[in-house]
Structures are given as structure tokens and as C-alpha cells.
Amino acid sequence: MGNLRIRPYEDLKEEGMYNVNADIPEITYHHIGKRGVRRIDGYAKASGKAVYTRDVQVPGMLYAKVMRSPYAHARILSMDTSKAESLPGVRAILRYDDPEIGGRTLNGSVGGPDRMAGQFSGFALKPESVILAQEPWFEGQAVGAVVAADTEEIAKEALRLIDVEWEQLPFVLDQEEALRADAYVLRPEAESNRIIDIAERDFFELGDVERGFREADKVIEFKARRDAHLWAGAEMPSALARWTEDRLELWNHVQQPYAVKLLLSEQLDIPMNQITMYSPYQGSSFGERGNPADFSINGMNVLAVLTAKKAQRPVKLLFDRAEKFYGESGDMMVSYFKVGAKEDGTITAVDMKNIFAVFQCTPGIEHLLENTRIPNLRCDAVTADVSKAPAWWDRCEQLPNTFCLTLVFDHVAAELGLDPTLVALKNDGCEGHDMAWLSKYKNEHGFPDKDSLKECIDAGKKAIDWDSKWHPPGAEKLPNGKMHGMAFTWDHEWDDVRGTGSAAVWMENDGTVSIVAQHSDLGVNPWTTYCQIVADELGVPVEDVTIKPFDGDHIFSLMSPDGSCNLCSNGFIVRKAACKARAILLDLALNSFEGLKVGDLDLKDRFIFEKKNPENRKAIKDIAVLAMPMHNAVGTWTEPPIVGWAWHQHGIWGDAIETGRPRLCRQAHFMQVEVDTETGVVEVTKVVNANDVGKAISPETIEGQMYGGTYMGVGRALTEEMVWDPKTGVLLNRNLIDYKCATILDCPEADTVIVETQMGHGPYGTVGVAEDIATMIPALLGPAVYNAIGVWVDDFPITPQKVLKALGKL
């Protein structure tokens, strides 16, 4: 026992913490970065055999539906469920005044007081944190009762048979109206409808904006508005709960199954080892299944679990498409900007006031801080309570930040008559520091010193033929009579700096390899990518590697893109675990390579070989066959299994200076439009994304996120809009016919350009890309339309009506 480690936990921590660029890979890439690696999930998805939560059924399962408020603000005075109870096929009704649910609130303990915590989420900021309400605060809120029945139809019919006596109450829809002194105050105990941001993001200041305006050659002011759009993920949420005595099994469409388990355990007093969480295939999430404390996860789960207990049967609670329009839309904002700039494009000061409805995802100023050398910044970010469902992150919480950055830069360029790409290069930097400061950082931390923005701009300009197509605003009428417009925006790549996870890499006796960790696949082809990394580290073909992601009864858990970081964390995790498994394999192999040390050996093409003498080799499977997890003891000598597990902490949210990790990779986007000035119709004819992804591990996957993000972004900019009736507060277009997502016929040409500088903080110098484009593209339509017609339409989405109004035709 002499070599017992003194601080085993501290050792694990040290091994798991990310150090800036301490992780420089020494392997030769065989699968990493290669095209044509077959998707591991492709066949299951194309054949329809992949099982999603919505597909799961268990014997004896009941279907459950929850009542929704028909009013924007109301109170239940009385509720009679007797008719519903006597409907044949109804097995259980959970009422808002039942002791097990009455007054119970969403549990947001996980994560503590940070942005992922429930008390920070849109739902928890308001009285909507009551899971099954008596007093609904928006139309569509879950209220009154849950019915479990033999079929979904019977459950719906039973809800119709419940008699509710309502008291209707006043409501407010618009955030600016809600903040007026004479506004109706929604919460009786509050003095106003203003919601104080508990993370203290209500006000930010850097430098002295007044001085910045004095130093400017020009000061411009403008207003912009962005209304709610929806993630509208493909799979409608559902939760299936099954009790066996005191053991609970739960099937969930959710990004963080382990956090879900912890929350439920605390809330309903179920020991964690009595809960099994399954996360089957996930019909898209976009971050919206990423807050385990929100109603559509935590609330839905509690209702399913309690109804199942009451019915003494497995219960599957189903939300339909309309129900998914309540909660988890993108946030809504009105912005007032004042910007000072010198004639050469140097921005001297930005002052902004952003007014959000219900919830602010981010204040709006952060990218101007993280991404530029602008010395003077100020931001008031005010949030007002209104009678709409709480907003949440819609593919990415950075939308307010990208919205403000794009509009600030493009307004400045337009006002000064400068090429916007030059204005970007003029102001590129980090937290008030210029490119020289960034170069010093890169050199000190082992990064290549490249001008990422310039590389992205050059590549993007070439792809869209910018130099010959860009023109002064309103200057080019096309032969078809439409006005031609071009626009550009830029940002850093932000998806690379945070997250934690764990996984094991296990080599089985035949030399094939399994990655063992629960993981919710959101569609970004993560599993193939992890297999590519593990295959290269272990010297086996990628076909020999697979992942076991569905079962939550082992301890390992890879992070889904929570905190905007998937591959950048998980790539490290599987790589570290593979390296440990590799060390064990080589150590075991020494028995077969007499006189050699581990460092003398390497792995390639399913063989272990002596580096100096590659002819001296053994098949991996002939070594692995000795290492058995179990075997009967008669006549066979076995070795311990070849398995390595790793935990990795990639970091937490924070500014560059604070974390010591400035973002070094940039992205540039270009858009071409045609505007019909008679009808106001805007057609996006081409989009070019040029993204510095650091290192492309799976190029097709990156491109998928680029064109996919473009289509979602163009939809948000042009057609996607939630519309409320001002007279009743009722959401009018809660279906996918009236809420218009892009189809294949609506999509412009999307040209994807991958730039690789290896300056990301992820493994092999990579940086994420999946959130960026859908978040960057919407605001880019504004300057594109301006370039076409010479008038700003800073009101998103840019519908034909708004274009005609801007042109003075309405």
C-alpha cells in the first residue's frame, strides 16, 4: 500500500482541467478532418428505425394531456372534474389543488446562481414557476388539471368536460407599454412591471461614452426592434414515466438527462439511485431542451411522474404543436442606439438601451466588448414583465449581442460611406485592446498568430464576388425591376470555452472500441466525430469504434451543447479517455514485446508496432483478447479490462480577460438580396458563410451547421414571427402553417467556406460553429435591404408590409 495516492480527487481534477493550449496533439490524423466518414446515426435515422422519446411505448401505458389557459391573465374560481372523471377510459385526474402538486414550483437548483439555474430562467422569474397553476399569467399556460386516459383522444375529451369558472384579469403585451408609469402592474405585490436581472446585467459601462462621442467625427442615433420567433423543433416534447414500486424510469427529450434526474430527486424526494433516465434520439433541441428547470422539462416531468403515481400506471404526457408555442420562444427586444465614429471607421463609443419582454437572453453589448477595441461602451438592459410565455434561448442566447453588433457596424459603415468589411477590420480586437494585444497573447500561449477576420473576409468576399457587386445604397436596379442589395457582418466564433463532462473508452476483447457515456444527440453528428477522435488516438479504423449513449445507469455523461460547447469539451473528454485506454493497452502489450518500453510502441491500422522496427508488430485484437471484464476461472488466464475514463472541465462563462481566454477565431457573413419595391417582397438570393472553425474535424458536419443555420436565420429575418391578438392577448399563429418556417423552395444558395487557423480553445485547435450562423444571419438582412432600397427597415422580421411602409407606400 506504499504507493497510495495522497490526494486522488485533486489528481483527477488537475488532470481534467483545461489549460490554455496545453493540449497540443502529437498524432497523425487519419480520420480527423477527413471527408466521407460514414455517419454513425445515418442509417437509423434514414430508415425511421431510430427511436425518439415520442416513439417510446411501454405495456399498460396511458396518455396524458394538460389543460391550457384560454386567457392571457385569469384566475380559476372553481373547477368541477366530475363529468371528466366519469368518462370511460379516464384513469386519473391530477388537479391543481391536489396536495402532491398544489402550489409546487419548478426546481431550479442545479447550477446554482448562474445562467443555467432555474431561478434565472424565464419561467422562474415570474409566477409561472407554479407548475400547475390556478392563476395563469399568459394564454396557453398549463393550468387546472392533467388527465391520464387510455388514449390521447379520451384525455383531450376529458379536458373539454372539465367545468372551470374563470375570473378574467387585465393583461399587457408590449414591453415598452408595460414600463410606462400608468401601466397595469401584472403582479399585485410589485411596484412596476420591471424585472430586475438577478445576474446584474441591467447596466454595463466601459470607459467614458461621453468622451467617445466628443472624439467622434459623426454621432448617429437609431432604433431597432426584434419580435419573437420560435425554435419549433421537429419532435413535439413528451415525457414517459413508469413506477415499479419505488423505482422510477423516465424517458425524456432533454439535453441534460443527469440534471433532470437530480432536480426530480430533490423535488419529489426520490433517491437518485432509484431513478433511471433514458435519453433516446432527440428530435432537435437548439438549446430549448437545454434548461432542465423550465416548464417544458421540469414541469412536464413532475406532471408525468405524479400522474403516473396517481394512476398506478405508466403515463406518457404529450404536448402537441400548439402547446410548444408557449415558452421557449426567442426573446423580444426594442433597442435605442447612439454611436460615435471617426471618418476612417474607428468607432469611439457605443451607448445602447435595450428593452426586453419577459426575459433577456443576453444584454446586447457583450460582443462589442469581447470582439472589438472600441474603448467606450455603455448598455442599459431593461426587462419588462408582459403577458406572454417566458422566452428562452433559441439555438443561442447570443442573439441580442449579434443583433446589436451587426446593426452598430453596418449603420456606421453606411453613415460614413465606407465598405463595412474595412470598418470591421478597423475595430477588430478584444475588450478594448487592439490586434497587437491579441498577437502578443497568441504568441505567449502557443497559438499561430493569424489574422482570422482578414482570412474570413478575404475568403467570403471572393465567394460572393463582393468587390464587383457591392455598391452604394439604392444604386442598383436589376433587369427584373427589383433592387439589388449586398451586406456583410462579422463576429468572433463564440462556442468554445466552457462545459464539463465525462466518458469511458473501453476496448473489448476483439479490439473493437466503445465510448460509454450518456449523451443526447441534437443532430450535430457528434457521435461520428467522437469516434473519429478515438479511432485516431487508438490506431483503429473508425468503423471499429461506436458509442453507447442512451442509458443513464452508468455514471458517465457527455455534455450536449449546453453552454454553447459540445465538441470543444467532449472532444477533450473522449480524447483523454482514449489516451488512458491506449496507455493501458500498450502496457499490457509489453508482455509481448520483450525488452521494449511503452514509449517504443505505437498504434496503427489495428496493430501495435515497434516504432523503430514496424515489422515487429502484433494485432491489437491478439492483445485485447487477454483483457476480460469477467470469465470463468477454469483454465484461462485473464487480465483486467482495457478501459480509460476521463472527466474534463473546459471552463465557465466569462469575459476574455476574466477567463484568460480571448476568442481568436472570427466569422464573416455576406448576403445578397433582391427587393421588389412594388410588393415589398424581399428575396435572399445568396448567403456566404466564412467561418474560422480552428480545425475542421468533420467538414460535412460543419457545413451542415452552416447552411442549416443560414436557412433558420433567413426564416427568422423574413417570415418567422409570433403574432398576438392585441385585444385578447391570445397567440394567433400557434401552428406550422401560420408560423412560417423555410421549406426547400424558400432557400437561397448558401455557400459555406471553412477557414482553419487552429486558434480555437477546443481539442486540436477547434472551435464550435453550430450556434453561430442562425444567430448571425437575421440582423444581416437589415443592412442588405438598406443597401438595396436606401432606407433602413430596422424592424425584424422584415415583412413586405414593413418594406412598403419604409418606402412611404403604406
724-763 positions binding other proteins, by CB under 8 A: 735-737, 741-745, 747, 750
**DSSP secondary structure of 589-624:** HGGGSTT--GGGEEEETTEEEETTEEEEEEEHHHHH
Distance of CA 635 to the CA centre of its chain: 54
Q: Out of 432, 708, 790, 800, name the contact with other proteins by CB under 8 A.
A: 708
Q: Out of 235, 536, 537, 562, name the contact with other proteins by CB under 8 A.
A: 235
Least separation in angstroms between CB 515 and other proteins: 19
Least separation in angstroms between CB 66 and other proteins: 16
In the stretch 129-168, what mask flags binding to other proteins with x, by CB under 8 A?
------------------------x---------------
Distance of CA 623 to the CA centre of its chain: 42
Q: Out of 136, 283, 375, 694, name the contact with other proteins by CB under 8 A.
A: 283
Nearest CB to other proteins, comparing residues 136 and 523: 523
Residue 701 is a binding residue for other proteins (CB under 8 A): yes
How many residues bind other proteins (CB under 8 A)? The answer is 57
**DSSP secondary structure of 300-313:** HHHHHHHHHHHHTS
Nearest CB to other proteins, comparing residues 578 and 742: 742
Residue closest to 230 by CA, chosen among 194, 177, 284, 282? 284
Contact assessment for residue 751 and residue 8, using Cβ atoms and an 8 Å cutoff:
no
Gap between the Cα atoms of 450 and 436, Å rounded? 11
Nearest CB to other proteins, comparing residues 12 and 741: 741
**Nearest 5°: CA angle at 97, between 96 and 100?**
85
Q: Out of 158, 232, 601, 731, name the contact with other proteins by CB under 8 A.
A: 232
Residue closest to 505 by CA, chosen among 697, 649, 641? 641
Go through 92-111 and write b for each residue having 16 or more CB atoms within 10 A of its CB, e for each that does not.
Answer: bbbbbeeeebeebbbbbebb
Least separation in angstroms between CB 235 and other proteins: 5
Nearest CB to other proteins, comparing residues 235 and 385: 235
Least separation in angstroms between CB 192 and other proteins: 38
Q: Give the CA distances from residue 768 to residues 94, 507, 566, 667, 774, in Å, rounded to whole numbers and listed in that order.
A: 44, 29, 8, 11, 13
In the stretch 48-77, what mask flags binding to other proteins with x, by CB under 8 A?
xxxxx-xx-x--------------------
Nearest CB to other proteins, comparing residues 257 and 680: 257
Q: Out of 707, 764, 786, 796, name the contact with other proteins by CB under 8 A.
A: 707
Least separation in angstroms between CB 85 and other proteins: 22
Residue 328 is a binding residue for other proteins (CB under 8 A): no
Is 550 exposed, middle or buried, given 0-12, 13-18 or 19+ CB atoms closer than 10 A? middle
Q: Is 348 helix (H, G, I), strand (E, B) or coil?
A: strand
Residue 341 bridge partners (DSSP): 218, 347
Nearest CB to other proteins, comparing residues 107 and 282: 282
Least separation in angstroms between CB 550 and other proteins: 14
Nearest CB to other proteins, comparing residues 295 and 325: 325
Sign of the C-alpha dihedral computed for residues 559, 564, 570 and 572 taken in this order: negative
Quick one: cell of 313? Answer: 400506471
Residue 495 is a binding residue for other proteins (CB under 8 A): no
Nearest CB to other proteins, comparing residues 13 and 321: 321
Those residues with Cβ within 8 angstroms of residue 335's Cβ, 6 or more apart along the chain or in another chain? 223, 224, 225, 226, 352, 353, 354, 355, 364, 403, 404, 407
Q: Out of 58, 199, 234, 619, name the contact with other proteins by CB under 8 A.
A: 234
Residue 710 is a binding residue for other proteins (CB under 8 A): yes
Residue 321 is a binding residue for other proteins (CB under 8 A): yes
Nearest CB to other proteins, comparing residues 237 and 299: 237
Distance of CA 547 to the CA centre of its chain: 22
- What residue type is 699 in one-letter code? P
- What residue type is 300 in one-letter code? M
Quick one: cell of 104? Answer: 409546487
Element (H or E) spanning 334, and its range? strand 332-341
Q: Of 10-18, 290-298, 519-527, 559-567, which segment contacts other proteins by CB under 8 A?
A: 519-527
Q: Out of 257, 552, 709, 760, name the contact with other proteins by CB under 8 A.
A: 709
15-54 positions binding other proteins, by CB under 8 A: 36, 38-39, 41-52, 54
Least separation in angstroms between CB 773 and other proteins: 9
Nearest CB to other proteins, comparing residues 27 and 747: 747
Q: Out of 423, 524, 664, 682, name the contact with other proteins by CB under 8 A.
A: 524
**Nearest 5°: CA angle at 505, between 768 and 653?**
30
Residues that bind other proteins (CB under 8 A): 36, 38-39, 41-52, 54-55, 57, 153, 231-236, 281-286, 320-321, 521-525, 700-701, 704, 707-712, 735-737, 741-745, 747, 750
